[in-house]
């Protein structure tokens, strides 16, 4: 009896030892990696998740609507064979404070791999979130010179305000105008573009009579317009958003302001150029887009077939941004900010997209984009027939 118990006890102890060894072996084995992950490098997911902070309601909702429609076209193309990219949206209402909260939610809740920022102010607001999370921040349209502060962890697909302002200033002088007034929206984009235009216009030999401001969402511009009318400048440059543009133009007409109006790239938004009031008729503006390229024509055709209207520069830029991330994500060592940014800089050279042909510089900024000069005419915007005005390149 004792012998049997001893034998059973030895067997039991042996079994416990075997189980313990198995547990150690199993716990010590690393989990199976997905393709792309080695050592300390995170494995790449099968589907790249982009988190986009943009205005979907309130001020700037028109921007967001166009970009969402353009992104749908890009996703249909990149996911044709298999789902490779997904976009999760958060509403910023064109407010940097709301943009910050939205970005934090995209990172903590939605676990996105890349962050997109819309306006310059919003992009600056979310830059810290992207940096802390080691995520690449992509700015399809943000153009303020202040973005240079965060350029080391960012890719910018739009040239800086300086490039756009220089093109507009050259066109104004080419048309023979020597004096101008400015009224800009008081945000990062508006201030930057107004300042850049003033500098460029003066460098071209022009004179700025006054540089007025209005608050975002303003509806009463009579004080500023009364001053502009009294100065009677040949040109009135108004870098404002769609929400401000129409009431501003209406009041300028009512007060009898006769100056030739030039606008920012925001005048490519359908809410402005296609408005039934035709208040924007004749407004001239410049876009970092080449309407002669086949890529633009194909995108524009696809957008119009799907949505029934003409896309704007914001839509084209968002389309390009999604297509670029889809392309380089397959080649990047990982989706960390460092690896993905390197893949964009290395891979996007002489790239032909909906916004034209461009390359990404070592600083992560699109260069070589050809500026087009456009005029609002008949409820649409069309290339302006101005010898020598078209073809400026952003350096």
pLDDT tens-digit readout, 104-127 = 999 999 999 999 999 999 999 999
> Dmax of the chain from CA atoms?
118
Q: Confirm whether 16 is domain-assigned.
A: no
| pTM of the predicted model as reported, rounded to 2 decimal places | 0.81
Whether residues 266 and 311 fall in one domain: no
Domain for residue 149, yes or no?
yes
Task: Let me know whether 144 and 186 are in one domain.
Answer: no
Examine the domain organization and report whether 69 and 135 are in the same domain.
yes
Structural domain includes residue 32:
no
Query: Are 219 and 335 members of one domain?
Result: no
Question: Domain for residue 106, yes or no?
Answer: yes
Per-residue pLDDT tens for 123-140? 999 999 999 999 999 999
d(C-alpha 55, C-alpha 214), whole Å: 20
In a domain, 334, yes or no: yes
- Place 42 in a pLDDT band, splitting at 50, 70 and 90: low
Same domain, 122 and 232: no
Domain that holds residue 185: 162-287+373-393
Please report whether residue 30 resides in a domain: no
Residue 38 lies in a domain: no
pLDDT at 1: 42
- Residue 297 and residue 191 share a domain: no
Per residue in 318-374, pLDDT tens?
999 999 999 999 999 999 999 999 999 999 999 999 999 999 999 999 999 888 899
- For 276, the token pair is 């039934």
What is the DSSP pairing of strand 154-156 with strand 136-139? Answer: parallel
| Average pLDDT in the chain | 88
Top-confidence range, 33-42, 96-105, 295-304, 307-316? 96-105
pLDDT digits (tens, 9 = 90+) for 220-229: 999 999 999 9
Domain match, 182 and 278 both: yes
State the total domains in the chain.
Answer: 2
- Give yes or no: residues 271 and 183 share one domain: yes
Regarding whether 186 and 257 lie in a shared domain, the answer is yes
Q: Please state, in angstroms and as integers, the Cα–Cα distance from residue 391 to each residue in 58, 214, 236, following that order.
A: 35, 32, 23
**Which CATH number covers residue 357?**
3.40.50.2300
Measured distance CA(374)–CA(309) in Å, rounded: 17
Question: Does residue 15 form part of some domain?
Answer: no
Together in a domain, 178 and 261: yes
Residue 270 sits in the same domain as residue 176 = yes
Q: Which tens digit of pLDDT belongs to each residue from 183-207? A: 999 998 999 999 999 999 999 999 9
Please determine, for residue 94, whether its predicted confidence score (pLDDT) is greater than 70: yes
Task: Give the residue-averaged pLDDT of 73-88.
Answer: 95
Q: Quick one: which of 51, 84, 89, 46 has its CA closest to 69?
A: 89
């Amino acid at each position: 009896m004792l012998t049997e118990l001893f034998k059973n006890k030895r067997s039991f102890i042996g079994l416990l030892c075997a189980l313990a060894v198995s547990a150690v072996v199993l716990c010590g084995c690393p989990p199976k990696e997905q393709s792309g992950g080695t050592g300390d490098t995170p494995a790449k997911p099968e589907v790249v998740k982009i988190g986009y902070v943009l205005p979907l309601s309130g001020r700037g909702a028109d921007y967001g609507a166009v970009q969402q429609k353009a992104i749908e076209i890009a996703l249909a193309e990149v996911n044709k064979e298999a789902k490779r990219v997904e976009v999760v949206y958060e509403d910023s209402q064109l407010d940097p404070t709301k943009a910050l909260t939205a970005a934090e939610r995209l990172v903590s809740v939605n676990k996105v791999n890349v962050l997109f920022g819309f306006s310059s102010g919003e992009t600056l607001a979310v830059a810290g979130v992207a940096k802390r999370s080691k995520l690449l921040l992509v700015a399809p349209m943000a153009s303020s010179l202040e973005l240079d502060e965060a350029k080391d962890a960012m890719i910018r697909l739009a040239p800086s305000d300086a490039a756009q302002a220089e093109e507009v200033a050259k066109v104004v002088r080419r048309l023979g105008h020597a004096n101008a007034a400015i009224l800009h929206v008081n945000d990062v984009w508006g201030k930057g573009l107004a300042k850049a235009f003033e500098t460029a216009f003066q460098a071209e030999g022009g004179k700025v009579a006054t540089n007025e401001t209005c608050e975002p969402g303003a509806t009463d511009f009579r004080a500023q317009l009364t001053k502009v009318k009294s100065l009677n400048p040949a040109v009135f440059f108004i870098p404002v958003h769609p929400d401000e543009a129409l009431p501003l133009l209406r009041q300028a007409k009512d007060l009898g302001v006769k100056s030739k109006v030039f606008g920012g790239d925001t005048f490519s938004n359908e809410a402005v150029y296609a408005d039934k009031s035709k208040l924007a008729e004749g407004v001239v503006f410049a876009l970092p887009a080449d309407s002669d390229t086949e890529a633009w024509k194909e995108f524009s055709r696809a957008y119009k077939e799907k949505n029934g209207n003409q896309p704007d520069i914001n839509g084209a830029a968002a389309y390009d941004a999604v297509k670029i991330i889809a392309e380089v994500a397959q080649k990047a060592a990982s989706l960390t900010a460092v690896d993905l940014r390197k893949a964009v800089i290395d891979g996007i050279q002489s790239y032909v997209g909906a916004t034209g042909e461009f390359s990404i510089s070592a600083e992560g900024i699109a260069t070589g984009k050809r500026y087009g000069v456009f005029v609002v005419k008949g409820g649409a915007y069309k290339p302006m027939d101005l010898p020598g005005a078209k073809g400026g390149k952003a350096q």
